[in-house]
Amino acid sequence: MKKLRVKDFDLKDTMECGQTFCWVKEGEGYVNADIGQVVYVEQKDDTLLYETSSRDVDLQKLLRLDDPVHTIKQEIAKDDYMLTSIEYAPGLRIVGDPFFPCLVSFLCSTRNNIPTIKKMTQAIRENYGPVYDFRGETFHGMPTPLDLSKATVSELEGLNLAWRASFIFRSTQSILAGEVVEEDLRHSTYENAHSKLKTLFGVGDKVADCVCLFSLGFLEAFPIDIWIERVIQNRYGIFIETGKSYQKKSRAAREYFGRYTGYAQEYLYYYSRKTNRM
C-alpha cells in the first residue's frame, strides 16, 4: 500500500463524526467507492496507508489535509464549550465528498438516523451503482445522475426510502436538466450556492448546508440538526437573540465563529452526540 504522512489528523474521528456516508468502515480502515473507483485507507500513527482499485487518488483533497487546522482552531475557540469540543477530537477534518453522492446521502438523512441512512445509501448503490472488484471483494459505488435517473419513484420507494424517493428522483432530474450545475456552485458564493441548492426538490436549509460544507468546500456553512439545535438552546442563546428561524441562527453562528464556522459545527456535533453533554 502507498503511504502518506499526516499531522494533526485522526481518520476514525473524521470518518465517524457523522459528516460522510461515502466512506464505509472496512476492516482496519475505511473504503470509498463513490469516486469512480475504490479507495481504501487506514491509519497507523502518523501515517495513512492507502490502496486504490485503478488510478491514484488525491487524499489531500478528499480528506482536506491541507486545511490550516491550527489557525482554524484558534479562530473558532471562542468559549470553553468550544474548546472542550475541539479537545475531544483534535484530529477531525471536514471531508471533501463528491457532490452527487453527498447530495443523495443527505436527502436520505431527512428525519432519519445514521444507521438507517447508511442502509438506504447502500441499497441505492447495490441497485443502481457501478460494481468494483477490489482486494478480493465486491464493492458498489453511488450511481451517476444518469444511471440513477433510470429508477422510478416506486422503485426507489421499494428501497425503504419512503417520501425521500421523490426528493431523490426529482433532484436527479433537475441536475440532469442542468438546472443545478456542480461547477457553477463551486465557483459561486456560499449564499448563492446555498440558495441554488434549495431549488432542488426536498432540499431545505440543513441539507443545503451539509452539501455546501461536506462537498462544495464552503467552510462557513453551519448545518443545524437536532443535536446542534440542542447545543444552541443550552450553550449559545446568543444565536437566537435576533430570531428563532434557521437562517437567523445560522447567520448568528457565522458571525460568532467566523470563516471556519463549519469546523465549529462539526466539533460541536461530534462532541455533543458522543458524550451527550450539551
4: helix, strand or coil: strand
pLDDT per position as a tens digit, 156-204: 999 999 999 999 999 999 999 999 999 999 999 999 999 999 999 999 9
What value does the mean pLDDT take over residues 261-275? 97
Q: What percent of the chain stands above pLDDT 70?
A: 100
Check residue 107 and give its pLDDT: 98
Q: Is the pLDDT of residue 93 over 90?
A: yes
What are the domain boundaries of the chain? 2-66+100-179, 80-88+221-275
d(CA 240, CA 118): 32
Check residue 111 and give its pLDDT: 86
What's the fold here for domain 2-66+100-179? Endonuclease III; domain 1 (1.10.340)
Q: Which residue has the higher pLDDT, 242 or 250?
A: 250
What's the fold here for domain 80-88+221-275? Endonuclease Iii, domain 2 (1.10.1670)
Hey, do 2-66+100-179 and 80-88+221-275 end up sharing a CATH topology, with the first three levels equal? no
Q: To the nearest whole number, what is the mean pLDDT of the chain? A: 97
Q: What percent of the chain stands above pLDDT 90?
A: 97
DSSP 192: H
5 contact partners, CB below 8 Å, separation of at least 6: 46, 47, 48
Check residue 278 and give its pLDDT: 80
Check residue 242 and give its pLDDT: 86
**52: β partners:** 39
- Amino acid occupying residue 90: P
Check residue 75 and give its pLDDT: 98
Check residue 263 and give its pLDDT: 98
What value does the mean pLDDT take over residues 213-237? 97
Q: Is the pLDDT of residue 38 over 90?
A: yes
Check residue 142 and give its pLDDT: 98
